[in-house]
Structure 1
Amino acid sequence: MSIKQVGNVLDLLEYFAGRQRPASLAEIARHFGWPRSSTFNLLLTLTNRGFLYEPRARAGYYPAPVWAELITQIERGQPIPHGMRALLDQLVQETGETAVLAAASGAHALFIETVESPSAVRYAAPVGKRVPLHVTATGRALLSQMSAADRAAILEKAAYERYTDTTRVSAEQVEAEIAASIARGWFEGNAEYTQDLGGVAMPFAVGERRYALLVAGPMFRVASRLPELAQRLRERLEGYLAAQAAGE
């Protein structure tokens, strides 16, 4: 279930992120097809709370700097692991494919840091993207770090939709793939969620936080390279974790 008013606020933030200049009440209402009265109420509420302001009188609304300050404070509490961006950059440079840091969010894997491949044809992985835990290599890497009870609870409620011919469509199949992946030493994505996309993922922890690291791309480039990509991912991840443990 989604709450419409919350969704409207998030849609508004994404609108401004793309627009990158103030917008009037009329422009916002027209863009979203919202009634003028409810648009006014939303803008007035956000303005009264200090989340919107008018950079110039009657020049339109724009998100206030308080958003950035809140995000900074939130990030201080649960920061992305130090040096992770550099690790993702290195993986992209060495493999030519997209690299992703993900964490579990309910029944999904949430992409919290990404660096996309420079290739025109690539795995598109914007920060904030969510993919089902049970359908993807990234998700199964995260599931593998959960207790048996927590994993069973997620798999029991999962919607086993067949996205492609290779999608695993039962809890038993997902559990079997997790076991095979642990034995193999890496998690394989084989066009199970998005046709023609695949890759390799590995689970890891920093303190009490659990993550998955993914390298992925179009199957015509990665299908024959999965063991090679896994080896490169393992080497770089082990080096990163050793540096973290040494306090570098």
Structure 2
Amino acid sequence: MTVRQIENLVALLEYFAERQKPATLADIVRQFDWPRSSAFNILTTLIEAGYLYEPRARGGYYPTQRWLQLGQALAEGEPVPEALRNIIRNLAATTGETAWISAPSSLFAVFLDVVEATAAVRYAAAPGQRVPIHITASGQALLSKMPPQDRDVLLRKVSFGHWGPKAPQSIAEVQAALTEGSARGWFHSAAAYSPDLGGVSVPVVIGERIFSLTVAGPLYRVAEMAETHATAIHDAIATEFGRDHSTATLTGLEPPARA
């Protein structure tokens, strides 16, 4: 269940981010087809709270730096480890595909940071994007490191049957994928979430936090590269954290021999 007012606020912020210039009340009403009074109330509330201002008199409204300060403060409180950012930058450069960092968020894996491939045809992703935790490589890598009781509770809440053609169709199939991925040392999805996309993912445990690192792209490019990309992820983890990190932190998962 979603809250309409919050949805409207997020849509407004994304609109400003894409527009990159001030917008008048009329612009906003026209963009979203909101009642003029509702749009006015949203703008007035944000202005009074210090999150919008008028760069020029009657020239429209634009977000203030307060959003940036808020985001920086939040990021400082629970930062994404810089070593993981280094890894996805290097993976994107060496594999030519999109790479990202994920973390668990209820029934989803949420992308914390993304480096997109430069190819015209690529896996398009952005920070904040969510994918189902039970059918994607990113999500299954995260599930594999959750306490069994927590994982079982979560899997009883997921839904099946309306994703890609190769998506698991039952809890038993998800559990089988987790067992196979743990034995293999990496997790794989192909046409599970989207018919034409696939990727590989490896979990990373840092302290009490669980992440996954993923390389993904169009199936016609990545289908035959799954093991190569998985090995590249393990090698990158070893470079940043030491060759024994995965062995010490990923109980029940065996990294490939090269890592």
- TM-score normalised by length of structure 1: 0.95
Distance 2:162 2:31 in 1: 35
Give every structure 1 segment of 4 or more consecutive aligned residues whose post-TM-superposition deviation is greater than 6 Å: none
How far off is 1:35 after superposition?
0.4
Matched, 1:87 2:87: yes
Q: Which amino acid aligns with 2:24?
A: S
Cα distance in structure 1, aligned partners of 2:88 and 2:164: 28
Per-residue deviation, 1:40: 0.5
Equivalence for 2:134: 134
Tell me the secondary structure at the aligned position of residue 82 of structure 2. coil
Report the 3-state secondary structure (helix = DSSP H, G, I; strand = E; otherwise coil) of the residue aligned with 1:229: helix
Deviates more, 1:3-12 or 1:79-88: 79-88
- CA distance, structure 2, for counterparts of residue 165 and residue 5 of structure 1: 35
Match of 2:168 in 1: 168
Q: Contact conserved, 1:162 with 1:168, CA < 8 A, in 2?
A: no
- Encode CA deviations 1:82-114: one digit per residue, 9 max, x unaligned: 133322121111111111101111110011101
Mapped contact 1:138–1:202 kept (Cα < 8 A):
yes
* % identical equivalent positions: 45
Structure 2 gaps of 5+ residues are: 246-259
Q: Residue type of the partner of 1:242?
A: G
Post-superposition Cα deviations, 1:163-187, rounded to whole Å, max 9, x if no partner, equal 2321101111101110110011000
Residue 173 of structure 2 aligns to which amino acid in structure 1?
Q
SS at match of 1:211: strand
User: Is 1:157 paired with 2:157?
Assistant: yes
- 2:200 matched to 1:192? no
Task: Give me the whole-angstrom Cα distance separating, in 2, the residues matched to 1:129 and 1:179.
Answer: 26
- Asked if structure 2 preserves the Cα contact closer than 8 Å seen for 1:141 and 1:202, the reply is yes
Q: Does residue 110 in structure 1 map to residue 110 in structure 2? A: yes
What is the identity, as a one-letter code, of the residue corresponding to 2:54?
Answer: E
Shift of 1:121: 1.0
**2:235 maps to 1:235:** yes
1:182 alignment counterpart:
182
Q: In 2, Cα distance between the equivalents of 1:34 and 1:108?
A: 30
Report the Cα distance in structure 1 between the residues aligned to 2:209 and 2:53, rounded to whole angstroms: 37
**Other structure's SS at 1:146 match:** coil
Name the CA distance, whole Å, in 2 between partners of 1:8 and 1:168: 34
Larger CA deviation: 80-89 vs 56-65: 80-89
Counting matched residue pairs gives: 244
One-letter identity of the residue aligned with 2:143: L
